[in-house]
């Protein structure tokens, strides 16, 4: 029986990021695949060595808006021509890596590389992950059958509105109050939940969203990507400065949790408004790490 006034946790927003480091899109719902939300981070920019080129070094990438449409990807950017890229068939593969983990990907058109090179000011190439079963997350936090796309580490990142509200209060009380408040888009989550206290997600280990079970395998340690304003590409010090004062463990700052879908079935999906049921939790004094 529900206690009067109790609000059950629920999904308040769902996002996917078709091209790693580029602008995300808010969705009403998304299919859940073993490697994450359908269409999430299947494209990536790489340099001549196949290493990722991201908004950490080239903040203006957050201003590129990708829109998948069947077998093409539409790209728009400020003050520049739009571009339509055909999804590579995978007949040709090139070696790439995601932070040291090697795999193969299909190169997109030369024109797409030139388009992004013009924006970043350095030579880059656009590649597509035609087979998302090629990459496993960190074995220390995953099982043999787990897979992940071009995401930094894990299939789905979950954040909570309660944690963001508390973080914004801490920023407002600190020396860089003018940089706040932060919007959730700074953290590039796949799933946002509401109806939970701040940092409650640190304790979650197994949860159900709609009909899909997820394992919470590791907290998310945050990088300078969060200091890039997704609307303007301007860089600041927040939220890392405040997280370093209040959410620092093992020399890192933490916000959100990484999820792995637990054996999703074909057709499984999550939707905004879905209830979030915490099936297992454990108090560890900070994020899972």
What is the C-alpha to C-alpha distance for residues 235 and 171, in angstroms, rounded to an integer? 16
Check if the beta carbon of residue 253 is closer than 8 Å to that of residue 221: yes
Check if the beta carbon of residue 85 is closer than 8 Å to that of residue 73: yes
Q: How many CA atoms lie within 13 A of 34 on its CB side?
A: 15
The residue written with tokens 């003050």 in the block is: 79
CA distances from 77 to 73, 151, 160, 183 (A): 13, 22, 30, 21
Per-residue pLDDT reduced to its tens digit, 114-145: 999 999 999 999 999 999 999 999 999 999 99
- Hey, which residues does 254 pair with through a beta bridge? 221
| Three-state DSSP state, 231 | coil
Question: 10-16 and 101-107 as β-strands: parallel, antiparallel, unpaired?
Answer: unpaired
The pLDDT value recorded for residue 211 is 84
Question: 156-160 and 191-194 as β-strands: parallel, antiparallel, unpaired?
Answer: parallel
Residue 152 sits at the vertex; the CA angle it makes with 151 and 157, to the nearest 5 degrees, is 70
The pLDDT value recorded for residue 283 is 84
Q: What is the mean pLDDT of each run of 10 residues along the chain (289 residues)?
A: 60 98 98 97 98 97 98 95 96 96 97 97 98 97 97 98 98 97 98 97 96 96 97 97 98 98 94 98 91
210-240 burial, b for 16+ CB within 10 Å, e for fewer? bebbbbbbbbbbbeebbbbbbeeeeebebbb
What is the C-alpha to C-alpha distance for residues 83 and 122, in angstroms, rounded to an integer? 18
| Three-state DSSP state, 18 | coil
Q: Which two tokens stand for residue 12?
A: 């308040």
| CATH number, domain 10-281, options 3.90.1150.10, 3.60.15.10, 2.40.33.20, 3.40.50.2000 | 2.40.33.20
Residue 275: DSSP 8-state: B
Cβ-proximal residues to 44 (8 Å cutoff; 6+ apart), any chain = 19, 20, 52, 96, 98, 105, 126, 127, 129, 150
DSSP alpha helix (H) spans, the chain? 110-120, 161-172, 240-246
| Three-state DSSP state, 44 | strand
Q: How many CA atoms lie within 13 A of 217 on its CB side?
A: 21
Question: 101-107 and 212-221 as β-strands: parallel, antiparallel, unpaired?
Answer: unpaired
What is the C-alpha to C-alpha distance for residues 169 and 145, in angstroms, rounded to an integer? 41
Mean pLDDT over each residue of the chain, to the nearest integer: 96
What is the C-alpha to C-alpha distance for residues 258 and 154, in angstroms, rounded to an integer? 6
């Amino acid at each position: 029986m529900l206690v009067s006034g109790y609000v059950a946790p629920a999904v308040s927003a769902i996002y996917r990021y078709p091209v790693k480091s580029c602008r995300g899109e808010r969705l009403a719902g998304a299919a859940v695949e073993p490697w994450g939300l359908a269409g999430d981070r299947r494209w990536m920019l790489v340099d001549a060595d196949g290493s990722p080129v991201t908004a950490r070094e080239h903040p203006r990438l957050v201003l590129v808006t990708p829109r998948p449409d069947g077998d093409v990807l539409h790209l728009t950017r400020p003050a520049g021509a739009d571009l339509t890229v055909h999804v590579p068939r995978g007949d040709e593969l090139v070696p790439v890596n995601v932070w040291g983990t090697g795999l193969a990907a299909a190169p997109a058109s030369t024109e797409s590389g030139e388009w992004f090179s013009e924006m970043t000011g350095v030579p880059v190439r656009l590649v597509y992950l035609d087979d998302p079963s090629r990459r496993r997350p960190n074995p220390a936090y995953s099982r043999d059958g787990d897979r992940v796309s071009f995401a930094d580490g894990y299939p789905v990142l979950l954040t909570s509105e309660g944690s963001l509200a508390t973080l914004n209060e801490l920023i407002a009380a600190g020396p860089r109050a003018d940089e706040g408040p932060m919007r959730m888009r700074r953290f590039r989550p796949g799933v946002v939940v509401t109806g939970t206290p701040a940092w409650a997600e640190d304790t979650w280990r197994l949860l159900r969203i709609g009909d899909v079970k997820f394992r919470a395998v590791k907290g998310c340690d945050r990088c300078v990507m969060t200091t890039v304003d997704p609307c303007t590409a301007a860089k600041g010090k927040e939220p890392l400065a405040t997280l370093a004062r209040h959410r620092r463990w093992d020399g890192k700052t933490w916000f959100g949790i990484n999820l792995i879908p637990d054996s999703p079935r074909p057709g499984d999906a999550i939707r905004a408004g879905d209830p979030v049921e915490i099936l297992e939790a454990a108090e560890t004094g900070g994020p899972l790490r």
